[in-house]
Amino acid sequence: MPGTRPSDLTSHFADLLRRAIERRRPLLDTGRTQAMRLFSGIADGLDGVFVDSYGPGTVLIVYEGRAPAEFDGRAQAATVLEVLGPLGATAVYHKPFARDRSRMGGALPEEVTSATPTAGVPLTEAIVVQEADWKLEIRLFDGLSTGIFLDQRENRVFTAAWAANRVRAGGPPPTVLNTFAYTCAFSIAAATGGAATTSVDVSGRYLDWGKRSFALNGLDVSQHWFAKMDTFEYFTYARRKGLKYDLIILDPPSFASGSPKRKIRPWSSVADYARLVGEAADLLAPKGVLFASTNTQELCMPGRLDREIIRGLGRQPRWLKLPPAPIDFARDQDRFAARVFTLQ
């Protein structure tokens, strides 16, 4: 797109965005969720540019080095607001992702933490959005993330339905362990279905965020458990206590720094995923189910996640069926992978 005039680029982007929205019309018309991806980079015609919708708030994500050099996220936020206004958007927050964030020394661009949107009127620090049968707290200017991974929406619906089916079958509430829990969205889905959940994350701040979303849904946090621990540290604790779980959720980041002080090793999905699966499987109750997911590029190659799972288990599991990719990510299926399975 070199040499494109700003006015031509604006018109082209607006047209691409409108077409992308029409492709998602079946999802929009269901009214099932306020949180969705309305524009997904090259899959919708413009590499490095993403538009995520959260009811009145919208996030425009622009990746340096992937988006066209002529694409000015600050200027195009107004385009996004104009196109999404009829859908209820009142604010657009711009999140630029630097090509090499290590050069920033941990600092974030001021605009990703500013309450003033790039276009539109300011929103409150936290907003509440509906997803399926639960509500979630979202923060649009809390940094580069918002508190939810949109591509996992249908897998959270699966988790809630799995829990509800187990409850209907009788017996005690099923137990769910959510590792790398972040803001606990999977836990909330499971708890809505009637499960007793344990959420594990190294960040107390994110676990507190999750507790607020539990409260939004009328879920008593005293009946659920939150562990501020490294996942492998928790595995050791759970084995020592003899804890078992009916469903274990593994959705780790691609990388995580360790803590020499706490004797926590750095984490790499490519190097460590098989070990993660193997240790998690030791905590499965009889007929337990394990959900394994990743967005690490190497592990999303066809068959690679399956091989890591089998390597970690030392055997072939019985694969179960997950729902198809959500419509707003249907063209991005090479960017994430997920499997659910049992050992019996």
pLDDT band at 201 (very low <50, low <70, confident <90, very high): very high
The pLDDT of 299-322, averaged and rounded, is 97
pLDDT of residue 266: 82
Residues 311 and 167 in one domain: yes
The pLDDT of 285-310, averaged and rounded, is 96
Using CA atoms, how far apart are residues 264 and 290, in angstroms rounded to an integer? 24
Q: Is the pLDDT of residue 129 over 90?
A: yes
Residues 22 and 110 in one domain: yes
Three-state SS at 4: coil
Does residue 200 lie in a domain region? yes
Spatial CA neighbour of 133 closest among 184, 190, 78, 80? 190
Residues 92 and 233 in one domain: no
Residues 185 and 229 in one domain: yes
Does residue 80 lie in a domain region? yes
pLDDT of residue 256: 80
pTM, two decimal places: 0.94
List the domain range (segments joined by +) for residue 323.
Answer: 150-342
Q: Is the pLDDT of residue 125 over 90?
A: yes
Question: How many domains does the chain fold into?
Answer: 2
Which tokens in the block code for residue 209? 């965020």
Residues 35 and 92 in one domain: yes
Residues 113 and 183 in one domain: no
pLDDT of residue 107: 73
Listed in sequence order, the residues at least 6 apart from 81 whose beta carbon sits closer than 8 Å to its beta carbon are 58, 89, 90, 91, 92, 119, 120
Q: CATH code at 99?
A: 3.30.750.80
Q: What are phi and psi of 76, to 5 degrees?
A: -80, -10
57 and 91 in contact (C-beta within 8 Å)? Answer: yes
pLDDT digits (tens, 9 = 90+) for 77-118: 999 999 999 999 999 999 999 876 555 556 788 889 999 999
Q: Is the pLDDT of residue 262 over 80?
A: no
Q: Is the pLDDT of residue 277 over 60?
A: yes
Does residue 103 lie in a domain region? yes
pLDDT of residue 255: 86
Q: Is the pLDDT of residue 217 over 70?
A: yes
pLDDT digits (tens, 9 = 90+) for 19-30: 999 999 999 999
Q: CATH code at 180?
A: 3.40.50.150
pLDDT of residue 109: 85
Residues 31 and 174 in one domain: no
Residue type, 32: R
